[in-house]
Amino acid sequence: MHFQMKEEIIKENIPLVKSIANRYKNYGVPLEDLIQDGLIGLWESIEKFDPKKGAKFSTYAVYWIKKRILEALEKEKKTSLNALPLNENIKISKAKNKPTTENIEYNQKTFVIPEDFPELERKVLTLLYGLADNNSYDLSQISKILNSPREKVRQIKEKGIRRLKKIQKHKSV
């Protein structure tokens, strides 16, 4: 299929992608990212669609759009702090007797962000989980605050969470 034809199909189906992404906007991934993943799914459906098989293109595209969006949600779930093998109900609070240390409590289990924790990881996790001012921010908001690309902020978040998991693992051994 010619590139311009593909481009036209994408433009025509953007409302479809947006409507599907909108259904999943409250699951931890910003709507803009869901739309982007949905557009990747739309592109895949254009590449793989065979009109000879009798299906409508929009029906076929919905499968690929949802597939990509659900993969993005699953990836976010695996990399989020809630993926820790503790309790899903997260309670975040400031340490009372250590003013420079934040605690992340999970029903009787606590991760302490140590004072020597890398500053950028500390900042991202503090903003993400509302440790500084009880306002939690999403990755897009944090990227604006830090004047850094969203993807970089996401990577820093993942690195910080891995570091917290490692600390927890060493404490429980």
Helix or strand holding residue 103 (H, E)? strand 102-106
**Euclidean distance between CA atoms 82 and 91, whole angstroms:** 11
pLDDT in tens, the chain (173 residues): 667 788 888 899 999 999 999 998 887 788 999 999 999 999 999 999 988 998 899 899 999 999 999 998 888 777 665 444 433 333 433 343 443 344 444 433 345 677 778 889 888 888 887 777 777 788 888 999 999 999 999 999 888 888 887 777 766 65
Strand order in the sheet with 109-113: 91-94, 102-106, 109-113
**Euclidean distance between CA atoms 57 and 44, whole angstroms:** 12
The predicted model scores a pTM of 0.49
pLDDT tens-digit profile of 134-166?
777 888 889 999 999 999 999 998 888 888 877
Domains of the chain, with CATH numbers? 3-79 (1.20.120.1810), 83-172 (1.10.10.10)
